[in-house]
Amino acid sequence: MKNQYRFDEKHQFLEKLENLIKDGVSSKKIITYTPYPVHEVEHILKVKASPLRFFTLIGALAGLLFGFLFTIWASLDWPIIRGGKPIVALPAFIIIAFELTVLFGGVISFIGYLLLSRLPDFSKIQNPEEYGNQFVIQIQDGETR
C-alpha cells in the first residue's frame, strides 16, 4: 500500500521531500506530482539528466547526413544541366540538409520524449489521475523507475 502526501504550497512540499530523503527513503521509491515543473525536485532526488538529448543528437545528425546524401544522390541519379551550375551544387544543398536536420531532430526528439515518459498512457486516458494544483509525493513499496 503506497502512502501519499499532498501540499498546497511548493516550499512545504520541498521541505517534506528533503526530510524524506534525509530519513533515508530511497529516491527511487518516490514519485512526485506537480502542477508545473519544479527543478529543485530533480536536485533533491538526484535524478540523472534526461537522456532525451541523445535522441535529439541522433535525429539531428541523421537529418544532416540524409539531407546531403539524398540531394547528392538524386542529382547524380539523373544529371541534368541547369544554368551551367555544377550538378552537385553543395552551396544549394546545405539548405536542404539544414532543414532536414531540424526536421529529423525535432520529430525524433518528440518521439523520444513519448517513449521516455511512457506517453500516451491509454489507461490514464481512460480514467485520468487528477491532483489539481497540489504537490503530491507518493512513496511506492516496490521500486519503480
Per CB under 8 A, contacts with another protein among 84-113 are: 84-86, 89, 91-96, 98-100, 102-103, 105-107, 109-110, 112-113
Strands 135-139 and 3-7 come out as antiparallel
Q: Is 40 in the site for another protein (CB under 8 A)?
A: no
Which residue from 23, 81, 142, 143 is in contact with another protein, where contact means CB under 8 A? 81
Least distance in Å: CB of 18 to another protein? 15
CB 135 within 8 A of CB 18: no
Q: Is 130 in the site for another protein (CB under 8 A)?
A: yes
Comparison of 24 and 91: residue with beta carbon closer to another protein: 91
71 burial (CB, 10 Å; 0-12 / 13-18 / 19+) is buried
The grid coordinates of residue 126 equal 481512460
The grid coordinates of residue 102 equal 531540424
Distance between CA atoms of residues 38 and 1, nearest Å: 26
- Give ∠ CA 94-98-102 in degrees, rounded to 5: 170
Least distance in Å: CB of 120 to another protein? 4
Q: Is 117 in the site for another protein (CB under 8 A)?
A: yes
Q: Is 15 in the site for another protein (CB under 8 A)?
A: no
Which residue from 1, 24, 46, 118 is in contact with another protein, where contact means CB under 8 A? 118
